[in-house]
């Protein structure tokens, strides 16, 4: 199963809360301040289950939602029109499964990075597609996990997500790991619980153990650890974690987004620009990345690009939380560019005069943050 950036409860997205870039007091341009990490975002999956032959919504059928590690997070039954929903979800990769007698099993992988509505699942009778298995596929690794470890994992997920019993969930995850030391997903979920307890030290330790237990292949843990380091402004530590994430899954824009944040924090602006542009190319509806690009381009003194970044952000999210600051930055840049143009015109006029040397100076260019 290809995983995305992180496991369920952690969302690493651009949240504008605090000043990151130190500005000179006399600079006419102010970058839009932003932070790194928000943990509390919750999403919803809402869809319907219909018979592929009759197009009729099927009611009373069990629909399960599984976490990337294979444990069931939640289950529900379809309503009269076939509708179902799962709420209070963190971002991450899930699998929706339906196993109904007489029908082919459904295993729908879904990446949750925002609420998902209108998901359509189709039931097909077993005789509609001869030769296909009528039982869900199960990975070899999942079969190797002891039943007791699975049960402890599920209890931990229930305590963590449904009851907000963070310490109790840690105990259950520890039991799951004792039963199956290679249960790297349990280490990852334990880190989630520690983050909810504001215990970053133990969260970091759990994520490192998750990476080791997965033999350095668990993408979610790498990106979760990168997000923790970004939250603490440990950019030097965040960079290799985010970079490893892009190596494990180069198709997802979010690994590149975290890497851009880390590089920006390290004042490696040209490299940060490359990563941020990768994000914007792969997700053209991501408004926040254009604010990051605006900050980068302020530092690179590419003011025309700043205007383009801000305009794109406002087009995508005209009423967003940073829209007012974005408009203010745009006004500042436009004023600075106009002043530079006026100064250039004055210099050219002086150059054409008999007694003026007309040499433009660096002061004619707009200042930028140092």
Whether 69 is in a domain gets the answer yes
Residue 278: CB atoms within 10 Å: 19
Closest CA to 93 of 141, 43, 130: 43
- Alpha-carbon distance of 42 to 33, in angstroms, equals 24
Which class for 340: exposed (0-12), middle (13-18), buried (19 or more C-beta within 10 A)?
middle
Whether 218 is in a domain gets the answer yes
Summarised one tens digit per residue, pLDDT across range 337-358 is 888 888 888 888 776 665 555 4
pTM of structure: 0.66
The pLDDT of residue 185 is: 87
CATH number, domain with residue 125: 2.60.40.10
Mean pLDDT within 42-66: 82
Q: What is the CA radius of gyration of the chain?
A: 26
Whether 346 is in a domain gets the answer no
Contacts of 338 (CB under 8 A, 6+ apart): none
The pLDDT of residue 197 is: 94
Cβ proximity of 185 and 68 under 8 Å: yes
The pLDDT of residue 343 is: 87
108 and 157 assigned to the same domain: no
124 and 153 assigned to the same domain: no
Q: Predicted confidence band at 25 (pLDDT cuts at 50, 70, 90)?
A: very low
Q: Supply 249's token pair.
A: 């899954």
Q: How many domains does the chain have?
A: 2
Mean pLDDT within 280-309: 91
Helix or strand run (H / E) with residue 79: none
Whether 178 is in a domain gets the answer yes
Ranges of beta strands (E only) in 227-335 are: none
Q: Supply 202's token pair.
A: 């133990």
Closest CA to 316 of 276, 280, 272: 280
- Alpha-carbon distance of 321 to 250, in angstroms, equals 30
Choosing from 233, 256, 285, the residue where a domain stops is 233
Residue 224: CB atoms within 10 Å: 30
Whether 76 is in a domain gets the answer yes
- Alpha-carbon distance of 42 to 50, in angstroms, equals 27
Summarised one tens digit per residue, pLDDT across range 250-265 is 877 778 999 999 999 9
Q: Predicted confidence band at 68 (pLDDT cuts at 50, 70, 90)?
A: low
Phi and psi at 122, nearest 5°, equal -120, 130
Summarised one tens digit per residue, pLDDT across range 316-342 is 989 888 889 999 989 989 998 888 888
Range(s) of the domain holding residue 105: 43-129
The pLDDT of residue 10 is: 26
């Amino acid at each position: 199963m290809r995983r995305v950036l992180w496991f369920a409860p952690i969302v690493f997205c651009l949240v504008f809360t605090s000043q990151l870039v130190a500005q000179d007091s006399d600079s006419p341009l102010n970058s839009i301040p932003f932070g790194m990490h928000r943990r509390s975002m919750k999403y919803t999956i809402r869809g319907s289950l219909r018979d592929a032959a009759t197009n009729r919504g099927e009611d009373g059928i069990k629909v399960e939602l599984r976490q990337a590690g294979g444990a069931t997070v939640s289950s529900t039954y379809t309503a009269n029109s076939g509708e179902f929903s799962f709420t209070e979800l963190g971002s991450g990769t899930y699998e929706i499964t339906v196993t109904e007698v007489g029908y082919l099993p459904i295993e729908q992988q879904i990446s949750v990075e925002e609420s998902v509505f209108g998901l359509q699942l189709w039931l097909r009778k077993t005789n509609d597609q001869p030769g296909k298995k009528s039982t869900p596929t199960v990975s070899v690794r999942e079969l190797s996990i002891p039943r007791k470890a699975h049960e402890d994992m599920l209890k931990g997920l229930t305590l963590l997500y449904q009851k907000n019993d963070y310490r109790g969930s840690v105990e259950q995850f520890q039991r799951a790991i004792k039963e199956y030391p290679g249960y790297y997903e349990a280490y990852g979920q334990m880190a989630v619980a520690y983050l909810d307890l504001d215990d970053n030290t133990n969260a970091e330790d759990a994520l490192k153990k998750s990476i080791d237990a997965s033999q350095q292949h668990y993408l979610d843990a790498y990106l979760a650890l990168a997000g923790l380091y970004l939250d603490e402004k440990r950019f030097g530590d965040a960079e290799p974690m985010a970079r490893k994430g892009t190596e494990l899954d180069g198709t997802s824009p979010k690994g590149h987004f975290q890497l851009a944040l880390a590089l920006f924090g390290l004042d490696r602006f040209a490299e940060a620009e490359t990563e941020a542009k990768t994000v914007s190319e792969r997700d053209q509806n991501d408004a926040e990345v254009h604010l990051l690009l605006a900050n980068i381009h302020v530092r690179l003194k590419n003011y025309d690009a700043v205007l383009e970044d801000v305009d794109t952000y406002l087009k995508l999210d005209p009423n967003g939380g940073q829209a007012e600051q974005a408009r203010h930055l745009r006004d500042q840049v436009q004023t600075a560019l106009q002043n530079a143009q006026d100064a250039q015109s004055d210099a050219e006029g002086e150059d054409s005069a008999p007694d003026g040397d007309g040499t433009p100076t660096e002061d004619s260019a707009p200042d930028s943050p140092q």
